[in-house]
């Protein structure tokens, strides 16, 4: 227990003296560099939150590119499909015991690869998507607290709604953030699909039927 007490004390000291001041300084810097100019330009709270949501979406896309999430997924899919294809050779074995053993070993290997892939995928997606969302929402909650929102827009929300709007005071800050965050991700996904479609059509034109790489004539 003495070692655990020392570790807990060390972690507490790091959080209080390093982590917390760092994030406080970072949040203050972002407020001065990002929100303050928009505030001076007369952009309302909802507009500022929308801009922050789009920037957070761009940050997630940047992290996705830097961590090569798409490449890792394509590599796994190709390797998994190749192993599944090799299982067809086991059906050619005459001895059913040997055939069954090979299939069981191969299936166990595929299951292990898939579990590792899922764990890596969860970790990468957590870094790419969850961390930017959680940190940004925490920062927005400190900048646009209920007291600040009531003083600026008259309600504890980014966009106030008329009275008797199903009991809602307004559109929450988190909802505005998520709408524009997801718009950036959807736009990027649509662009990636278009690029892949163009590449596929270009490959078909380069290898027409009857030519090398283009299938049978």
> Each residue's pLDDT tens digit in the chain (217 positions)?
577 777 777 777 777 777 778 778 888 888 888 999 998 999 999 999 999 999 999 999 999 999 999 888 888 889 888 888 887 877 777 777 887 888 888 888 889 989 999 999 999 999 999 999 999 999 999 999 999 999 998 888 898 887 765 667 788 999 999 999 999 999 998 988 887 777 767 666 655 554 555 544 3
Asked if residues 123 and 129 have their Cβ atoms less than 8 Å apart, the reply is no
Alpha carbon 82 to its chain centroid, in Å, reads 28
Q: Under 8 Å CB-to-CB from 106, ≥6 apart: which residues?
A: 83, 86, 87, 90
- Whole-number Å distance between alpha carbons of 146 and 155: 8
The pLDDT assigned to 10 comes to 79
pLDDT at 166: 66
The full set of domain ranges for the chain reads: 1-30, 43-205
- Determine how many CB atoms are found less than 10 A away from the CB of residue 59: 19
Q: Is-above-0.75 flag for pTM? A: yes
CB atoms within 10 A of CB 204: 12
CA–CA dist 128, 59 (Å, integer): 8
Task: Please check whether residue 183 is in contact with residue 57, taking contact to mean a CB–CB distance below 8 angstroms.
Answer: yes
Q: Report the pLDDT value the prediction gives residue 178, as an integer from 0 to 100.
A: 96
């Amino acid at each position: 227990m003495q070692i655990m007490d020392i570790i807990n004390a060390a972690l507490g000291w790091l959080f209080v003296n390093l982590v917390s001041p760092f994030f406080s300084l970072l949040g203050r810097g972002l407020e001065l560099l990002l929100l303050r100019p928009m505030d001076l330009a007369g952009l309302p709270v909802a507009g500022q939150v929308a801009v922050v949501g789009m920037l957070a979406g761009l940050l997630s896309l940047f992290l996705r590119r830097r961590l090569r999430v798409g490449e890792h997924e394509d590599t796994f899919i190709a390797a998994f499909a190749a192993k599944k294809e090799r299982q067809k050779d086991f059906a050619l074995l005459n001895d059913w015991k040997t055939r069954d053993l090979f299939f069981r070993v191969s299936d166990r290997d595929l299951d292990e690869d898939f579990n590792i892939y899922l764990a890596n995928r969860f970790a990468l997606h957590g870094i790419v998507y969850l961390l930017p969302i959680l940190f940004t929402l925490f920062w927005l909650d400190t900048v646009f607290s209920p007291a600040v929102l009531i003083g600026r827009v008259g309600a504890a929300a980014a966009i106030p709604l008329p009275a008797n709007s199903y009991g809602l005071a307004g559109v929450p800050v988190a909802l505005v953030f998520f709408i524009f965050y997801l718009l950036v991700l959807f736009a990027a996904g649509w662009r990636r699909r278009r690029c892949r479609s163009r590449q596929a059509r270009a490959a078909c034109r380069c290898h027409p039927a009857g030519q090398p790489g283009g299938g049978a004539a």
